[in-house]
Structure 1
Amino acid sequence: MSRQPYSARDFEGVPALVTGGASGIGAATAALLAERGARVAVLDLDPAGAPPGTLALEADVTDDAAVRAAVDRAAAELGGLQVLVGNAGIGAAGTVEDHDDSEWQRVLDVNLLGIVRTDRAALPHLRRTAARHPGQVSITHTCSIAATAGLPQRALYSASKGAVLSLTLAMAADHVREGIRVNCVNPGTVDTPWVGRLLGRADDPTAERDALEARQPTGRLVGAEEVADAVAYLAGPRASAVTGTALAVDGGMQGLRLRPGPR
């Protein structure tokens, strides 16, 4: 396949759906895809923050019927689906002892099964597009550095994201011959509203932020827009040979081992 030339409008006319697209990484991704020409629908529990110009759809990813209805409406209004970004998720802080079964079920229901429900509802629409544009149809999941690195106080969250990573690889194998690519991004600690709320509950928010920044070799939190750039690459035409890949956007957190000392 010939290399696609870069264009700032490389998603021109592409119908795309972003879950959790009204805040944080999801909103940054939805805004970027729209800026690059996509027709974008945002599925969110509270879609009030959906970027201007996107189709805002209210749905709870733990409700299969609501997800199916929202995905079908997005496909109907956008003229199909070519790009799906499964981003909706929630956080959890604590060790394996800190959450009861109901909290484990709640987080897994959103972070893992929410992606499953959205993917399952979208696949018939994606297949129809893939029949015409093989390799140009994509699913991109928001995973996490927590899937591949042991982080303190993140047992439940890490388990949910580890499952998302394994799901991504399995789906990539299942759907590659249908012309549907499946990848994920693994952000480090991102400067999002959830992290802001986490810092707000700390005894010393400034010290906690400093600690979060220090554990990333770049010495700063990742920006939501930086993750959105990675999602757009994986979802877009220049990644037509990329599937079953986890792209780290983590300031070097996964792979670098720096010696202690000044920068």
Structure 2
Amino acid sequence: MSGTRGAGGATALRRRWGAAEIAALRADLLAQSRVVRGPHLLTAPWGTTPDGWTDLRGLADPDGLSVRCLTLTRVDLSHASGRLRFHETEVTDGRFTRVVATAGSRLDRRFERCDFRSARLPGTVLGRRFVDCDFSGAKLRKATLGENAVFERCDFTGADLTDATLVGGRFVDCVFADLTLSALSHLHRCAFQGGRPDPGPARLTRCAHDGTPLPDAWAGQPAADQLEAAYLRRYVAAARAGAADTLPLAPESP
């Protein structure tokens, strides 16, 4: 795998992106979206990585990256930061290693053989199909699923799904070793074939494994009730002080 190790290398990759480079990429994305058939070939300001991937490493766009209706392959976005919005886009052999995405990001349509290792994707919407993708060590706090999301042979080893809400997902032969779930995580109407996660404190409702319904469970309900009560106390105090708008919309795990 190409990429730059260490915080210093990631910082150097981000600093190379100025207004001119970002404007050139936006123009290329727009031009490519007008091409009806893919694959679409982006022209990165930095050309390609040593192993021939489109070099978008360290992309730091204050307005975020918006990709619409493209078919891309061999694109390296390692260490990118900001909001990621992929709409009706297919990515094959993509690198999102150690990206730092802001809340409100969306990865939508199809991602195959993509590397999300150690990526930070808080509050990201994941949909609709992920095939042979690696989410090991990824931070997916408060993540949600797009409609009818499917994950095939994906690796979630060591991933953090604290407070995530996974509704209607289908997981086929995925790996869930050392997965982190919280009392506020909720798995609802999910179907697991092959591997399945240990829900731990998470809420599990109307899920199935290999076609057999799983019993509903919520071992963390007492902890969730405590978090909700504490949140309500903070909200009341903030409302009295005229600062309720600064609080999150729902309780959060520490």
- Scaled to the shorter chain, the TM-score interval is under 0.3
Structure (1 or 2) with the larger CA radius of gyration: 2
- Greater fraction of residues in helix: 1
What TM-score does the superposition give when structure 2 sets the normalisation length?
Answer: 0.28
- Greater fraction of residues in strand: 2
What TM-score does the superposition give when structure 1 sets the normalisation length?
Answer: 0.27
- Which structure's relative contact order is higher, taking Cα pairs within 8 Å and 6+ residues apart? 1
